[in-house]
Amino acid sequence: MSSGLTLSVVGGVGLAAQIAKKGTESDLRLYHHVSEGHALTLVEPVQYPERYGPLLQCLALGDSILLLADALDRAFAESAATADLFGAPVQIVQGETVGEDELRRALRGLRFERAPLLAKDPARLRAKFEAESAPTKSGPTQVRLDHAFPVKGVGTVALGFVRQGTLRAHETLRLYPSATNVEVRSIQVHDIDVKEAACGERVGVALRGVEPEELSRGAVLAPDGNLSAGRTLKAGAVRKGAYYRGTLAAGRSLQALIGAQLVPAKLIAVTADGWSLELDRHVVWTPGESVLLADLDVQAGPRGAGVGTLA
């Protein structure tokens, strides 16, 4: 494929199934539509709102966010407030039973409160997204992984997205955040064998040198020495989540999202200029990347506590 686009579909369910064909399903459900060299992937958080993690990881995977307003309920409000913490552009689909005035009131105070509203027309939306592609990012290869499983006669197969550069068959890359080096035995893009995959494409990668259980969501394939890995993170001043009612103070136990990695964390220090986190396990990151904090113990309001930029 020559281009691709991944949409995080949140706020409601059902629209993705009207636009594309269902593929991988776990706590996330992925849909795919391939047409004339363009691959469209839509991701839904299957187990949300019962679990907050799938919403966070769904939003982390998208090049763009599609916010579906079918009902202005608590799940929609939290989805919108959480999407506000991510940097990806947000497009809003107005459901048939939701009025524009009430929808605008529900979005007040969010960074996309004045975004244009799209009609809930699956055919037109599909055509619109067929004309859009993920931003191209040059540089050393980076592939963010989200699923892994064994395949008889092949070995370990991982699924993910090329986020930077070009992935090539037979190259050796480091599997961050571990120190393990793996060989890319082969690459598929939507079930088609290819020798390389470009930025923005969804890939299936056969890997030598690692077992499926060693791969966790958010792991990154990249050349050795290109990324940072560790358990202690430092960031600039946090931007508090819209409508978050909890407090961010030293000693608080939270969840931290870095890329698509969601791990338990503890706030070690909080000042006006920045804060530091200690994580339960090693993660991979690049300076300037965002870290999102989630408070699963908050009694009311959205669980998205805030976001900061990693040093």
Task: Give the confidence band of 145 by pLDDT, cuts at 50, 70, 90.
Answer: very high
Please state, in angstroms and rounded to a whole number, the distance separating the CA atoms of residues 94 and 179. 46
pLDDT for 160 equals: 97
Tell me what the pLDDT averaged over the chain comes to.
Answer: 95
Please state, in angstroms and rounded to a whole number, the distance separating the CA atoms of residues 83 and 102. 19
Q: Rounded to whole angstroms, what are the CA distances from 48 to 103, 255, 297?
A: 21, 16, 16
pLDDT tens for residues 11-52? Answer: 999 999 999 999 999 999 999 999 988 999 999 999 999 999
Report which residue type is found at 238: V
Report which residue type is found at 12: G
Task: Give the confidence band of 222 by pLDDT, cuts at 50, 70, 90.
Answer: very high
Within the chain, which residue ranges are assigned CATH 3.40.50.300? 3-130
Compute the C-alpha angle 111/288/230, nearest 5°. 125
CATH 3.40.50.300 fits domain 228-309: no
**Tokens read off for 246:** 């909890």
CB 226 within 8 A of CB 288: no
pLDDT for 37 equals: 84
Please state, in angstroms and rounded to a whole number, the distance separating the CA atoms of residues 30 and 286. 26
Least reliable range by pLDDT among 1-10, 132-141, 204-213, 260-269: 1-10
pLDDT tens for residues 284-311? Answer: 999 999 999 999 999 889 999 999 999 8
Within the chain, which residue ranges are assigned CATH 2.40.30.10? 142-222, 228-309
Pick the CATH number of 142-222 from 3.40.605.10, 2.40.30.10, 3.60.10.10, 3.40.50.2020: 2.40.30.10
CATH 3.40.50.300 fits domain 3-130: yes
Asked if residue 201 has pLDDT above 70, the reply is yes
Q: 173 or 4: which carries more pLDDT confidence?
A: 173
pLDDT for 238 equals: 85
Asked if residue 155 has pLDDT above 80, the reply is yes
**Tokens read off for 187:** 């690459």
Residue with tokens 């309920």: 73
Asked if residue 71 has pLDDT above 60, the reply is yes
Can you tell me the mean pLDDT for 128-145? Answer: 94
Can you tell me the mean pLDDT for 197-202? Answer: 94
Asked if residue 149 has pLDDT above 70, the reply is yes
Task: Give the confidence band of 85 by pLDDT, cuts at 50, 70, 90.
Answer: very high
Asked if residue 1 has pLDDT above 50, the reply is no
Burial of 101 by CB count in 10 Å (0-12 exposed, 13-18 middle, 19+ buried)? exposed
The strand pair at 64-69 and 90-94 is best described as parallel
